[in-house]
Amino acid sequence: MANFKALVLDQDRLFPADPTVRAIARRLYAGIKDLPIVSPHGHTDPSWFASNANFDNATSLLLLPDHYVFRMLYSQGISLESLGIRTKDGTPVETDYRKIFHTFAQNYHLFRGTPSRIWLDSVFHDVFGLEYGLSSETADLYYDSINEQLVKPEFKPRALLDKFNIELIATTEGAVNSLKHHAALKGTGYEKRVITTFRPDDVIDADRADFLSNIKKLAEQTGQDTHSWQGYLQALRIRRQFFRDHGATATDHGHPTAKTANLSADEASKLFQLCLSGKASKEQTELFRGQMLTEMAGMSIEDGMTMQIHPGAFRNHNPSIFERFGADKGADIPSPTEFVSNLKPLLDKYGNNAALKIILFTLDETTYARELAPLAGHYPSLKLGPAWWFHDSPEGMLRFRHQVTETAGFYNTVGFNDDTRAFLSIPARHDVARRIDCRFLAGLVAEHRLNEDEAHELAQQLTYQLVKQAYQLD
Ligand SMILES: [Zn+2]
């Protein structure tokens, strides 16, 4: 093993190099590193926690679900078939999981400088106790060691919730999901720890191929006439309550843009009928999504659910990948997003209501200082979600804090979201956010813009209290 490179996670990683600021960052971090993880937005599979079955193997757990990983490999000419990504059209794919792990290991250098490298190394070191860096030479050692550990009882999903100190984790489900896995958790003691989130894009986005079948399903689930505007709205109210009965405290809306609308009931009803007819234009389905954001805000005032808006992803940008492999294959690309005019109809109607909690996210960093911080720094209903997706990275988090804090302050932000389906990386992702917040706060302290006792308090709040307040988790 002499020529294997040691895998070392430096205790000062991600802290500033300046010794004065670094010393402050260390002190701040010491005060928060062991706080419980609250994960209010993410995409883990609730069946893991319901069945509590052991995970299969290193490849199917760490690689196959992680589009951050295979998009990078794909960008360097490695086919998704060779990585074992299942096809929709029946094209055969690699099924030798050890071979796939080798391909990944051989190409691990591609992740140098990326957050995936930080997350993965943390998983290897902290979760699996691996002592050498991943490379072609260590691929078998890794694959065997990880698989040997995955069959143990302490690697079952619920045991990992304890090991990771996860106080709460929210999954995300479509409006017509049966929530059977959350239902199965009832009575296990985990039902308050693993909760769902109401994501109604499947019954709001008339551009989706399954829109009409979902509207039909919505009728079956609620007993409402979902082909009438009022019946459809009532059905959504019923489903929101159903999700609340399975722990949901928040909704999530992943629209192409931040467009909102405030149509009369008559206009909205006509637009809905047009969407149902399949004859709506792109502009009309966009207007309908916009109207529905405003309707959802109204329902959030009725039932108290926090509303998350995640706009601006150009989904499935690569049509040949979409045709062969489907969605969520690393082919979503950020596009410019406008908030000031687009949110105005919703804000005109509900923006002054302090009981309404809307959390805005963006993939367009140019909006942080120009649009989002001024909006959240004024409207009582608006808060800013953390740096998201492509910006969930040390530099992305720093850019977020640098650009929004002076106008929105810290208290119009809501702490960290890991937004991940890579369950084992959750502690590492939260640790990166904690370290970067401490780094940013340490800079303010070193420049005498903040007292250190205030910075300690803020570090705690950004890690824990603000998250629970924003998502109403108390
Ligand atoms: Zn998400």
pLDDT of the chain, 474 residues: tens digit per residue: 556 899 999 999 999 999 999 999 999 999 999 999 999 999 999 999 999 999 999 999 999 989 999 999 999 999 999 999 999 988 999 999 999 999 999 999 999 999 999 999 999 999 999 999 999 999 999 999 999 999 999 999 999 999 999 999 999 999 999 999 999 999 999 999 999 999 999 999 999 999 999 999 999 999 999 999 999 999 999 999 999 999 999 999 999 999 999 999 999 999 999 999 999 999 999 999 999 999 999 999 999 999 999 999 999 999 999 999 999 899 999 999 999 999 999 999 999 999 999 999 999 999 999 999 999 999 999 999 999 999 999 999 999 999 999 999 999 999 999 999 999 999 999 999 999 999 999 999 999 999 999 999 999 999 999 999 999 998
**What's the CA-to-centroid distance between 219 and ligand 1, angstroms?**
26
- Residue 426 Cα to ligand 1 midpoint, Å, equals 14
Centre of ligand 1 from the C-alpha of residue 332, in Å: 13
Size (the chain), residues: 474
- Tell me how far the alpha carbon of residue 35 is from its chain's centroid: 20
Q: Are 427 and 421 in contact (CB under 8 A)?
A: no
Q: 338 to each of 250, 315, 381, 388, 391, how far by Cα in Å?
A: 23, 17, 18, 16, 18
Pairing of strands 333-334, 313-314: antiparallel
With contact defined as beta carbons under 8 Å apart, do 372 and 362 qualify?
A: yes
Beta bridge partners of 382: 358
Question: What is the enclosing helix (H) or strand (E) of 313?
Answer: strand 313-314
Q: State both tokens at 196.
A: 């769902």
59-86 CB burial, b ≥16 within 10 A, e <16: bebbbbbbbbbbbbbbeeebebeebbbe
43 C-alpha to ligand 1 centroid (Å): 6
CA of 385 from ligand 1 middle (Å) equals 11
CA of 154 to the centre of ligand 1 (A): 28
The secondary element (H helix, E strand) that includes residue 2 is none
- Percent of the chain topping pLDDT 70: 99
Cα–ligand 1 centroid distance for 172 (angstroms): 7
Q: Compute, in angstroms, the gap from residue 444 CA to the centroid of ligand 1.
A: 31
Between the CA of 389 and the centroid of ligand 1 the distance, in Å, is: 8
Distance in Å, CA 147 to ligand 1 centroid = 28
Using the mean position of ligand 1's atoms as its centre, give its distance from the Cα of residue 417 in Å: 9
CA dihedral 205, 207, 213, 217 (to 10 degrees): 0
What is the distance between the alpha carbons of residues 436 and 431, in angstroms, rounded to a whole number?
9
Question: Helices marked H in 281-357 — which ranges?
Answer: 282-303, 319-325, 344-350
The residue with tokens 């082909």 is 227
Q: What spacing in Å lies between the alpha carbon of 308 and ligand 1's midpoint? A: 9
